[in-house]
Amino acid sequence: MGWVLLLASNLLGYGLMAIDKKRARRGEWRISERSLFLCATCFGSFGVYAGMHMFRHKTKHRSFQIGIPFLMTIQVWMILKLYTKALLG
């Protein structure tokens, strides 16, 4: 069940980056950076990161250049910690 939620949050992050890039090109209402970071914080960081590079979106923003990889690192550490704890008992 945890893997399904992890996949869903990353698909959401990827989709939000795609939608925001499309809206940016059209000059339409945008998804806030706060919302993008909230999604990344809720274990969607890999999806947001993939969306950044796939759509070339937010790649020049220092907060995204540093913040998203930082969140990815913390989340990998947390997942490994939980996974090894589950394996060990």
Give residue-wise pLDDT tens across range 7-41: 999 999 999 999 999 999 999 999 999 999 999 99
* pTM over cut 0.85: yes
- Taking the C-alpha atoms of residue 72 and residue 69, their distance in angstroms, rounded to an integer, is 5
Give residue-wise pLDDT tens across range 69-83: 999 999 999 999 988
Give residue-wise pLDDT tens across range 43-58: 999 999 999 999 999 9
- Taking the C-alpha atoms of residue 5 and residue 22, their distance in angstroms, rounded to an integer, is 26
Give 80-85 contacts, CB < 8 A, sequence gap 24+. Answer: none
Amino acid in the structure at residue 86 = A
Domain ranges for the chain, please list them: 2-88
